[in-house]
Amino acid sequence: MAGSALKRLMAEYKQLTVNPPEGIIAGPVNEENFFEWEALITGPEGTCFEGGVFQTELKFPTDYPLNPPKMRFKTEMFHPNIYADGRVCISILHAPGDDPMGYESSAERWSPVQSVEKILLSVISMLAEPNDESGANVDASKMWRDDREKFYRIAGELVRKSLSL
């Protein structure tokens, strides 16, 4: 299975280098191991993350694309859908099939038709439009709902910090 996963990851990497989406740079940490990637994501325009450059890592399972990678921000983030340790909580990265909690439909969850590019574009969308109903960071979710100005201030500080690294 790892052979087909490697072939798929190599093809996706080639596609990302030939036709990179705006605001994203991504690829393997080194060409000896295509199962660990890093990506730089720029904050979406018109949001409190605008102008920031955020470093992430993706770790792919050997049965990719049957199962999704794990994704984590290495840059400190304050966002309703990002855990304090940087792990990303977004439907597209949840295992395929029915949600045991009944919150997500199977169509929202991972499927083998997804790709690294679609994941990263979904994360940019998530930065722009947090889902405070399914908060990985309860404090950020509550602040997003109740005190948007304070949320913007904290996020803005982290954007500035991301640029000084």
Per-residue pLDDT tens digits for 85-99? 999 999 899 888 766
* Average per-residue pLDDT for the chain: 91
Q: What's residue 101's pLDDT?
A: 63
Question: Residues with catalytic annotation?
Answer: 89
The band of 100, judged by pLDDT with boundaries at 50, 70 and 90, is low
**Digit-coded pLDDT (tens) for 133-150:** 877 999 999 999 999 999
Q: How far apart are CA 111 and CA 119, in angstroms?
A: 11
**Digit-coded pLDDT (tens) for 111-123:** 999 999 999 999 9
Count CB neighbours of 147 within 10 A. Answer: 12
The band of 26, judged by pLDDT with boundaries at 50, 70 and 90, is very high
User: DSSP letters along 98-137, please?
Assistant: --TTS-S-GGGS--TT--HHHHHHHHHHHHHS--TTS-SS
Set out the domains of the chain in order of their start, with CATH numbers: 2-162 (3.10.110.10)
40-58 mean pLDDT: 94
